[in-house]
Amino acid sequence: MKIVLKKTREGGIIIVLSGELTGLQDADKMSSEITEAYSDDISYMVFDFANSSIPNSRFLGKMMAIYKLNKSRNVQTYIYFADNGEVRDLFKAAYVDHIIPIVAQIHDAAALSSAGNS
């Protein structure tokens, strides 16, 4: 797994996940890197699964814990898949899309976040 955190001009963080998301350490690595990013004031976060494999249950659990932390800090959370239908189908089957909104384009998160905080 490779994880890259990109900060946006609008005060967001995009978490670009690529490769296999099945190792036990992957979920912990993602969680610790995101926790470090909280030192900055952020308004929204996007999980980018465009180039990743289907995540395991531990990974999904860590992602939901991050979502709950974001909610308590008033940080909007979104998911982006691009054309990754396998991962999108998993999230829809698990009803994650009813909890964390899916954005069609990454830049949509900034607009939704600013509209939600108005």
- For the chain, the structural domain boundaries read 2-116
- State yes or no: pLDDT of 39 exceeds 80: no
Tokens standing for residue 57: 């249950």
Q: What residues are paired with 16 via a beta bridge?
A: 4, 48
- With cut-offs at 50, 70 and 90, classify the pLDDT of residue 47: very high
Higher-pLDDT residue of 22 and 73 is 73
Please tell me the CATH code under which domain 2-116 is placed.
Answer: 3.30.750.24
Summarised one tens digit per residue, pLDDT across range 66-84 is 999 999 989 999 999 998 8
pLDDT(35) > 90: no
